Structure 1
Amino acid sequence: MAGGRYAPGHLGELTQHLPFDMVDEALTATRATQTRLRDLPSRVVVYLLLAACLFSEVGYPQVWRKLAAGLAGIPTATPTPSALAQARRRVGTAPLHWLFDLLRGPAATIRQPGTRWRGLLVCAIDGTTLTVPDNPRILTRLTKQNGNHGGTGYPQTRLVALLACGTRTLIDAVFGPTTTGETTYTPQLLRSLRAGMILLADRNFAAKALLADIATTGAHVLVRLKNSRTTPILTRYPDGSYLSVLGGLRVRVIDAEITITTTAGRHTGTYRLATTLLDPHRHPASELITLYHQRWEIETAYLELKSSILGGRVLRARTPDGVEQEVYALLVTYQLLRTAMTDATNTRPDLDPDRASFTIAWQTARDQVVQAAGVIADTVIDLVGTIGRHVLTDLMPARRLRVCPRIVKRAISKYQARGPAIDRTSYKATIGIDILTPADP
């Protein structure tokens, strides 16, 4: 452990992925180091902010107690809630932003299945919203969303992330008011795209200008189009795809009918996909259709952020600057967990990272914080660690093909519940894919 006033400044075993000197460098680079040694040094406050993301169910004073719980025999401060609030304001947002920029990026993998397709790093982009407290200060920068879908009683901030599928590590992220749409935030993420990537995106990202900008980065794209969108047929290919153009960008278009069959019946949907991969021999249409399913990896990552870590709760911060600080702390903490999980799965080259349980990694990390365990690595480097051993011991089963109706299983209000007649069964399913050949216009 660090000594004296610095002792509570740790993150359990995750400290090995975010060591003291890295946090000190962030504070120095952003000029947030304390001018005099306090009971709450800036380094300790950074770890407090990150630990708070692991324990979202309690307030900052209780998080402090968890950081100090394993420090038997080391005298530590007992800060008041107001002292913790002042310390968080003193540190500000910049060090957390600096750390996220340092840690973001696809985790290094060793021949892990599910991370690359035909040599291309599989990535996904999408947006979500995080709910924040409802008070006048927050409302000066963030707003509530209204609409016939029910709206919300709380303001929200929009988060748009670029994710590496398979490991689900964050390559980049941007967030801000919901008055700005996902596609308006997206150009800020183009700095992180490069050749050797294939980006999966939904229909909201299929704007001509945006696709052209993505193509200039050297990355390839596989995006869904609206079925009603007109795409001229320039050349037909043997795999059923055809050459077309979106604005000035040449793309291959694939029309497919996907049928899901269960014991409860059949459901058929039509997909239209466009890709900048123009060679049908190197990148067959049938494989691209299957690949597009991995776009759901980013939806799972958002579930881990909002449901596992936050537990569906509103963020703590009660000021716009505090919200920004907390969101960056949340992204850093998520990236640290995913990095620890990837280090563990890398020890088994044939193991799909999808089988690593995020919940097990998160709960084990919480235990290590309370015990103040594994803060400093032993002389013998252990890439797996306690978190990784728990993950590898209790792997999830290989992904099974199942479907479940998209319904709310637990109504927000008991007065809006629709009764027991709703089908909540998960069904084993089979999928049939038929590539359609559209008629000449």
Structure 2
Amino acid sequence: MDAKSVISHEVAVAAGPFAPGHLGELTQLVPFEMVDEVLAESGGTQQRIRDLPSRVVVYLLLAGSLFPGIGWKQVWRRLTAGLEGLAIASPTAGALAQARRRVGARPLRGLFDLLRGPAAGIGIAGTRWRGLLVCAIDGTLMAVPDSPANQSEFIKHRSNNGGAGYPSLRLLVLVSCGTRTVLDAVFGPTTNGETSYAPRLVRSLCEGMIVLLDRNFAVQALVEAITRTGAHVLVRVKENRRLPVLKRFPDGSCLSRLGGVPVRVVDCEITVGTSQGRRTGSYRLVTTLTDPHAHPAAELIRLYHERWEVETSYLEIKSTILGGRVLRARTPAGVAQEVFALLVTYQVLRLAMADATATQPGADPDRASFSIALNTSRDLLIQAASVIKTTVDLVGTIGRRVLADLMSDRRIRTRPRVVKRAISRYNAKGIVDRTTYKATISIGILTTRTP
């Protein structure tokens, strides 16, 4: 008879019908007490103990963000897979839908408000520049199901093949560029543009921050609103924007005004060289940091490149977590619930990664693999592992796996912005080179022209 191995494990979860309410090891960042608090504040706590208590439903919604490609009954099976031997409810799809409607979006929004913000670690590598927390604001579109209810609030946009795609919502986030943690977010119909939503993110800015913005946000009223919070701005503007030259500085920048705000203007040329040749572009940056000695122009130009971290955040949310899928919810209320659940899930993953890299002095959070953290979290949820902490473990399984396989320092690379997967192959024009090349970058500061 062949020898065999038998493996058994113990799990520690909440008692009774609350047992399925967990998020694996991520429960340490979203503990029972936090969920109960937001449910109490939003009036979402159940009046009697059900097979699906409200706390369990909140964790179900968060688990749904970890497993976006499956139905809610399959999500439930993953929540309960590690609870063998316990008396666990087996709800129908209809019961799960009713429970999600009963809880609503407010508790998920409450969780997001409690968790949003920069990682708490002191001195995390790459988060600050000359003492300022580096942040960025940008927007993206997310597709929602093409249901009559969603069509009443969200409009369709033309797709690559000329037809109408799914209805979309507009999401804007304020991120900490060093850790890609979310400081704030706002979303709604695409009938409102990015500059209509952006002022609602100003509430989360304060002294000691610098906000990086692209040309779409170079709006006088927005810059003035950010400045009133004590935060600083570094924004790209159109090259032909007329800005008066009030004083010239030795580093090539000049003093000017944007409305009622004193600003510095930096004109530059950036040349990217690869084995395929060289490409030069002209850029005009405007900043509220007006002292050229404390904040040299060349450093500001390099700092502006960090704005792309918010684009990477959207890549992680839309491509890595969602896999390019449309959201599930078929009503605007359900969409709001799902988006807040997705933001909470992304935030706790990012916090877990930041906590891990903070234990290694000098380790840049950029080197932490988001895919490793995401897939480890999925595994631990299915196992119902580390739901309740029984020993002191500052890093955890997620952190250990991330630290064991840190990525190399980011190389200087260039890649043209192209559609990698068009809806219609007949819509492509010409030959698209998708090769990633190693690059060298040179910066030349230009003398700002007098208008």
TM-score class, shorter: over 0.9
Residues 134 and 155 in structure 1, CA contact (< 8 A), matched pair in contact too? yes
Alpha-carbon distance, 1:127 to partner:
0.5
The amino acid that maps onto 1:310 is: L
Structure-2 residue corresponding to 1:389 = 400
Deviations along 1:32-53, whole A, 9 cap, x unmatched? 0111111100000000000000
Relative to structure 1, the CA distance from residue 148 to residue 154 in structure 2 (aligned partners, 3 Å threshold; closer, same or farther) is: closer
Deviation at 1:112, TM superposition (A): 2.4
Counterparts of residues 62-141 of structure 1 (less than 5 Å): 62-141=74-153
Residue among 198, 203, 218 paired with 1:206: 218
Name the residue aligned to 2:290: 278
Which residues of 2 match residues 288-299 of structure 1 at below 5 A? 288-299=300-311
Alignment of 1:222-261 (within 5 A): 222-261=234-273
Verify: 1:423 aligned to 2:433, yes or no: yes
For 2:403, the aligned partner's letter is L
Structure 1 counterpart of 2:36, which letter?
D
Change (3 A) 1:170 1:412: same
**Partner of 2:208 in structure 1?**
196
Percent identity for Structure 1 against Structure 2: 66
Counterpart of 1:155 in 2: which secondary structure? strand
TM value normalised by structure 1: 0.97
Rounded to whole Å, the distance in 1 between the matches of 2:416 and 2:225 is 37
Aligned counterpart in structure 2 of residue 312 of structure 1, from 318, 324, 344: 324
Whether the 8 Å contact between 2:254 and 2:448 is mirrored in structure 1 is no
Q: Spell out, residue by residue over 1:384-432, the C-alpha distance to the aligned partner (whole angstroms, 9 max, x if none).
A: 100000100011110001112322233323443558x432211110001
Contact 1:405 1:425 in 2 (8 A): no
Q: Look up the equivalent residue of 2:437 and give its one-letter code.
A: Y
Residue identity opposite 1:56 in structure 2: P
Contact 1:224–1:274 (Cα < 8 Å) also in 2: yes
**Structure 2 equivalent of residue 156 of structure 1:** 168
Q: How does 1:4-43 map to 2 (within 5 A)?
A: 4-43=16-55
Deviation track 1:97-141 (CA, whole Å, cap 9, x = no partner) reads 111011101112332221000000000000111100011111111
The partner residue of 2:336 within 324, 339, 343 is 324
Report how far residue 209 of structure 1 moved: 1.1
Counterpart code for 1:118: R
Q: CA deviation at 1:56?
A: 0.5
- Rounded to whole Å, the distance in 1 between the matches of 2:425 and 2:274 is 31
For the structure 1 residues 255 and 104, does the alpha-carbon distance in structure 2 shift closer, same or farther, using more than 3 Å as the test?
same
Residue 182 (str. 1) matches residue 194 (str. 2): yes
Return the offset for 1:142. 1.3
Matches within 5 A, 1:50-65: 50-65=62-77
SS at match of 1:153: strand
> Aligned equivalents of 2:160 and 2:206: distance in 1?
39
Which residue of the partner structure matches residue 409 of structure 2?
398
Moved more, 149-158 or 365-374: 149-158
The residue aligned with 1:365 is 377
Gaps of 5+ in 2: 1-12
* Cα deviation 1:361-380 (Å, max 9, x = unaligned): 00000000000001111232
How many Å separate the matches in 2 of 1:124 and 1:260?
A: 23
| Aligned equivalents of 1:149, 1:182: Cα separation in 2 | 25
Deviations 1:294-347 (A, max 9, x none): 000000000000001111000000001000000000000000101110110110
Q: Describe the superposition over 1:149-191 as per-residue Cα deviations: whole angstroms up to 9, x where unpaired.
A: 9574111111111000110000000000000111111111111
Corresponding position of 1:263: 275
Q: Contact 1:161/1:173 (CA < 8 Å) preserved in 2?
A: yes
Kept after mapping to 1: 8 A contact 2:255/2:263:
yes
State the number of aligned residues. Answer: 439
Return the alpha-carbon distance in structure 2 between the equivalents of residues 426 and 20 of structure 1. Answer: 45
Contact 1:50 1:330 in 2 (8 A): yes
8 Å Cα contact 1:110/1:349 also seen in 2: no
1 CA distance for matches of 2:111 and 2:117?
12
- Separation in 1, partners of 2:132, 2:200: 22
Residue in 2 aligned with 1:167? 179
> Is 2:388 the counterpart of 1:408?
no
Question: C-alpha separation between the residues in 2 aligned to 1:67 and 1:264?
Answer: 51
Corresponding residue for 2:443? 433
Q: Which runs of 5+ in 1 are unaligned?
A: none
In structure 1, which of residues 44, 50, 54 is the aligned counterpart of residue 56 of structure 2? Answer: 44
Determine if contact 2:213/2:307 at 8 Å carries over to the other structure.
yes
Letter in 1 for 2:210: I
Contact 2:161–2:427 at 8 Å: present in 1 too? no
Question: SS of 1:154's equivalent?
Answer: strand
Superposed CA RMSD: 1.4
TM value normalised by structure 2: 0.95
Task: Letter of the 1:64 partner, please give it.
Answer: W
SS of the residue aligned with 1:158? strand
Q: Return the match for 1:301 from 295, 301, 313.
A: 313
